[in-house]
C-alpha cells in the first residue's frame, strides 16, 4: 500500500473520530498526525491541505459545542458563569482561524496541540461552573444539541462551519472579541466600577487590528504568529483586570447586602 493511500485512510479515520466523539471526549482529545506521514516533507501541499481541512472541521464542531455550553451556563448563573468560558473559546477560535494561513505541518500541529489544551481547559471550567450552579447534565446536553442544530444558519453569507476555513476568519474572530470586551467593560462601568486600566489594555488590543490585517493580506505566517502572541498576552492582562473588577464588585454587593440587613 503506497503512502498516498495510507494517508487518505488515516485522514478519513480521523475525520470519523472528530464527528463521532461526545462532548466529554472531544474536549480532551488531541488528534495526532498520521504516523505514516512523519517522514513526508513538512511543506507537502497534500498533507497541509488535508490537515487544514480537518482542523477547520473539528474546530467547527467544537465551537458549536462550546456555544451550547456557554449558553446553558450563562442562563443558570444569571450571566456571570459564562464569562471565563467565553474567553477560553475566544482563544480557541483565535488559534483555529489562524491555521488557514499556516504553511508547515509543524505550525499546524502546534496549533492543534494548543486547541487540545484549550478544550481541556474549557472542560475543566465547565465542570467547575456546573458544580457551583448545580447544573443539569441533561439540560446542558440539550443546549449543546440546539447549538449544533443551528449551525446551518449563515455566518456572513457562509453556511455552517465553512467560514472557519477562510483566510478572513481570524479577523472576524478578532473583531467579535473586541466587541465583547467593550460590552463587558460597559456592563462593569454601569455598575460603578472604574474600568480605565482594562480599557487601556482593550484599546491596545484593538490597535493590533492593523498589524493583523497586514499579516493576513500578505499571508505572512511569521507575522501572524507574532501578532497572535502579542494579542494573547494583552488578552491575559485584560482578563486579569476583569477578574479584579469582578472580585471588587462581589465585595461591594456583599457589603451593600450587609448594610441592608439581607
Residue 58, pLDDT > 90, answer no
For the chain, percent of residues with pLDDT exceeding 90? 47
Percentages helix, strand, coil for the chain (3-state, rounded to 5) are: 80, 0, 20
pLDDT band for position 249 (cuts 50, 70, 90): confident
User: What is the per-residue pLDDT for 260?
Assistant: 66
Is pLDDT larger for residue 50 or for residue 21?
Answer: 50
DSSP symbol at 192: T
pLDDT band for position 256 (cuts 50, 70, 90): low
User: What is the per-residue pLDDT for 42?
Assistant: 54
Residue 25, pLDDT > 50, answer no
Residue 157, pLDDT > 50, answer no
DSSP sequence for 23-57: HHHHTT--PPPPGGGTTS-TT-HHHHHHHHHHHHH
Average pLDDT of the chain is: 80
Region 46-65: mean pLDDT is: 86
Region 100-128: mean pLDDT is: 91
What's the rounded Cα separation, in Å, for the pair 206 and 196?
15
Only one residue has cell 471526549, namely 25
Q: Where are the domains of the chain?
A: 1-166, 167-262
Residue 2, pLDDT > 70, answer no
Is pLDDT larger for residue 39 or for residue 82?
Answer: 82
What's the rounded Cα separation, in Å, for the pair 209 and 178?
10
Among 155, 169, 163, 157, which residue's Cα sits nearest to residue 97? 169
Amino acid at each position: 500500500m503506497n503512502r498516498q493511500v495510507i494517508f487518505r485512510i488515516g485522514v478519513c479515520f480521523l475525520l470519523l473520530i472528530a464527528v463521532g466523539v461526545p462532548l466529554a471526549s472531544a474536549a480532551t482529545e488531541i488528534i495526532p498526525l498520521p504516523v505514516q506521514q512523519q517522514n513526508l516533507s513538512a511543506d507537502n501541499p497534500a498533507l497541509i491541505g488535508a490537515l487544514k481541512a480537518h482542523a477547520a472541521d473539528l474546530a467547527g464542531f467544537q465551537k458549536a459545542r462550546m456555544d451550547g455550553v456557554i449558553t446553558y451556563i450563562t442562563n443558570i448563573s444569571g450571566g456571570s458563569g459564562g464569562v471565563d468560558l467565553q474567553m477560553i473559546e475566544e482563544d480557541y477560535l483565535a488559534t483555529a482561524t489562524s491555521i488557514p494561513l499556516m504553511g508547515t505541518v509543524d505550525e499546524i500541529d502546534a496549533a492543534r496541540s494548543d486547541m487540545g489544551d484549550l478544550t481541556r481547559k474549557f472542560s475543566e471550567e465547565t465542570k467547575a461552573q456546573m458544580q457551583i450552579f448545580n447544573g443539569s447534565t441533561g439540560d446542558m446536553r440539550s443546549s449543546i444539541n440546539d447549538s449544533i442544530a443551528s449551525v446551518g444558519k449563515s455566518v456572513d453569507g457562509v453556511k455552517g462551519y465553512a467560514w472557519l476555513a477562510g483566510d478572513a476568519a481570524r479577523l472576524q474572530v478578532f473583531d467579535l472579541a473586541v466587541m465583547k470586551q467593550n460590552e463587558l467593560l460597559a456592563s462593569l462601568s454601569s455598575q460603578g466600577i472604574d474600568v480605565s486600566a482594562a480599557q487601556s489594555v482593550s484599546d491596545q488590543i484593538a490597535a493590533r487590528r492593523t498589524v493583523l490585517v497586514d499579516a493576513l493580506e500578505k499571508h505572512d505566517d511569521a507575522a501572524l504568529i507574532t501578532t497572535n502572541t502579542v494579542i494573547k498576552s494583552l488578552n491575559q492582562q485584560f482578563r486579569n483586570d476583569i477578574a479584579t473588577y469582578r472580585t471588587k464588585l462581589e465585595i461591594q454587593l456583599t457589603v451593600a447586602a450587609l448594610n441592608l440587613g439581607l
